[in-house]
Amino acid sequence: MSLLKLLVESPVAFFLTAIPLLYAVIFHEIAHGLVAYRLGDPTAKFLGRLSLNPLKHLDPMGTLMLLLVGFGWARPVPVNFANLPGDRKTIVAVSAAGIVTNILLAFVALFLLQLMEPKTGGALSTALTWFAYINIILASFNLIPLPPLDGSKILMPFLPAPLRQAFLRLEPFGLLIIIGLLFLGVLTPLIRGVFAIIYGLVGIFLP
């Protein structure tokens, strides 16, 4: 169900859902900037991109996709790697920050949903379900080693220079490829796998 359809069917559920979804995307980007800042790069902070103000982060196309298909993105938080230590661990830490954040948020949402059992249903349940969904989608997609996704930035420091350059040449087409894979359902097994891992972790912490 698109968020626009949800708005028509249940305005209360829409607002309880749209805001957490929006912040799932925003938290992903802030995590990159925050880790970079902690490691020595103040670029995101100076540009006001560590703010929780949505207007600092909204991307027109990403917001439209969020409303239409329940998957979207924010403007990438700028990171100047020249200000950071030039080792692989630093690059991996900054690049993986968004993925880790989305996994943690999905874990919290699924954990709360399980605590609500058997009292499921209603606007809160809908909001938590969507929140878990978008965070799992974001984490899954960004694990893919395809520019400009985080997975490629995690992988590239370990690649030889020629292969790294080949990866970079894919970046202008990366978003179109990802959207195509999304609509073709090719990424469904990956999304299900990430969901299964997070859901399994939730089970460990519940009696």
Q: Could you report the per-residue pLDDT of 119-147, keeping only the tens digit for each?
A: 556 777 877 888 898 899 889 989 988 88
CA separation for the pair 56, 6 (Å, rounded): 26
Quick: pLDDT tens for 73-90: 788 899 998 899 878 899
Residue 23: give the domain boundaries. 3-205
Quick: pLDDT tens for 191-201: 899 999 998 99
Residue 154: pLDDT over 90: yes
Helix (H/G/I), strand (E/B), else coil: 107: helix
**DSSP assignment string, 28-69:** HHHHHHHHHHHHT--HHHHTTTT---GGGTB-HHHHHHHHHH
pLDDT higher at 55 or 73: 55
Q: Calculate the dihedral angle through the C-alpha atoms of 107, 110, 115, 119, rounding to the nearest 10 degrees.
A: 170
Active site residues: 29
Mean pLDDT of 105-115: 92
Closest CA to 3 of 134, 94, 140: 134
pLDDT higher at 207 or 164: 164
Residue 117: pLDDT over 70: no
Structural domain count, the chain: 1
